[in-house]
Structure 1
Amino acid sequence: METASFKGLFDVIVFIIIFYFVMKFLARLLLPVLAKKVVEKASQQFEQQHQQYQNRTQQNQYQSQNPATEKPKEKKIVGDYVDFEEIE
């Protein structure tokens, strides 16, 4: 079993510091690209939803302007309504 040494501790601390700076450098390079892609995708989804909403409203306006195309539903007349009262 090995015991901890000052040189081993120093190597670990140096490795952690180097890893921190490398990750910080890579984040500065890659995060703007990733953020741009996320914003573009959100923008595309918003445009699609807006287009779908416009299509639906145009279809509803067209249907409301042409009521002759819709057939009114026929109501069945069953009979008179009779209100019953309980007798005690």
Structure 2
Amino acid sequence: MIYFLSAAGLARMLLYIIGIYFVIKILSRLLSPFLIKYAAKKMEDRFGQQFNQQRQPQQPKHKEGETVIDKMPNTGNSSNKKVGEYIDYEEID
């Protein structure tokens, strides 16, 4: 089927588009305060959880007086001896 563009069809389509635009605009104005409150509440809860995690004292994983090594030293000392060319120079007065 081939549809032809008519003035009535074009006007009806423009009215639908304009109507949908205004309905979305009105609904967004009505619903945006609730969405913003919901988002603010979620952020407040998330920040509160992070704050409470930092405030709680962390339990030590080792006994008192025990020696603990947090980082193991590198055993492979791979230093590059070829660092460049050494040039002698003399200061000129």
Q: 1:69 aligns with which of 51, 59, 64?
A: 64
Unaligned runs of 5+ in 2: 69-93
Any runs of at least 4 consecutive aligned residues in structure 1 with deviations exceeding 4 A, and if so which? none
Alignment correspondent of 1:24: 25
Residues paired across the two proteins, number: 65
TM-score, normalised via structure 1 length:
0.65
Relative contact order, CA 8 A, sep 6+: which one is greater?
Answer: 2
TM-score, normalised via structure 2 length:
0.62
Percent sequence identity over aligned pairs: 34
Cα RMSD between the aligned structures?
Answer: 1.9
Hey, what's the Cα distance between the residues in 2 that align with 1:13 and 1:20? 11
Hey, what's the Cα distance between the residues in 1 that align with 2:6 and 2:47? 58
Greater helix fraction, Structure 1 or Structure 2: 1
Alignment correspondent of 1:10: 11
